[in-house]
Chain A
Amino acid sequence: AQSVAQPEDQVNVAEGNPLTVKCTYSVSGNPYLFWYVQYPNRGLQFLLKYITGDNLVKGSYGFEAEFNKSQTSFHLKKPSALVSDSALYFCAVRANTGGFKTIFGAGTRLFVKA
């Protein structure tokens, strides 16, 4: 069965500092991995995905994520946080063995202080 864990409910970081939002996953076979961001009372916006290839994936708004197969992790990173990055972030996983069912983590709320 697929599962996603986001171990931190909340991450606090000062503006200009690097940020990391953690995600680990469990899936049969090779995973498709995604990060989405959600602003209050809005749907989710796609940030980036890992399908295959380079373990470092670059996405929207300066975000990137590193796929680590041995640690089954897909942490979201940004070198320099902005106050406007404050939002709810979801990691998601889907097996590539057929079907499109995507499982979401519980979400991590990011607060960036000015």
Chain B
Amino acid sequence: GAVVSQHPSRVICKSGTSVKIECRSLDFQATTMFWYRQFPKQSLMLMATSNEGSKATYEQGVEKDKFLINHASLTLSTLTVTSAHPEDSSFYICSAKDSMNTEAFFGQGTRLTVV
């Protein structure tokens, strides 16, 4: 199957700093990428959907100025958590799909801890 690589797998940052998470499709062109947030023992909450070269579409309740998403190429999307606070601590997962397949493929996730 298609491979999606997410980096870093874990990051600890101080309150007030910004953190960037990368999501790369390694063997296919990701026309659409998705960013999810997962709280402990809960399901995935879709944060935003991005198409290459376009602005991301954010879900209701997600602050687009806080969670900056860039999808500048067909193989890379980034999520930047700006001015992070402890309540932003969570597991963030990206997924990507190409124009041919109906299913999306997931990265391994990033555990963000804000101290």
Contacts and interface: CB of A to CB of B under 8 A. Distances in A.
Interface residues of A, number: 21
B103 A34 contact: yes
B19 interface: no
B interface, size bucket? 20 to 34
Contacts of A32: 102
A104 interface: yes
Interface string B1-44: 10010100100000000000000000000001010000000111
Interface stretch (B62-70, B73-81, B82-90, B106-114): B106-114
B90 to A, nearest CB: 12
Nearest to B36: A104
Contact of A44 (B42, B49, B95, B97): B95
Interface stretch (A15-23, A35-43, A68-76): A35-43
A42 B4 CA distance: 12
B44 A90 contact: yes
Contacts of A100: 32, 34, 49, 97, 104
A14 interface: no
Interface of B: 1, 4, 6, 9, 32, 34, 42-44, 46, 49, 91, 93, 95, 97, 102-109, 111
23 contacts: A32-B102, A34-B103, A42-B108, A42-B109, A43-B93, A43-B107, A44-B106, A46-B103, A46-B105, A49-B103, A51-B102, A94-B102, A100-B34, A100-B49, A100-B104, A101-B46, A102-B34, A102-B104, A103-B46, A104-B44, A105-B43, A106-B42, A106-B43
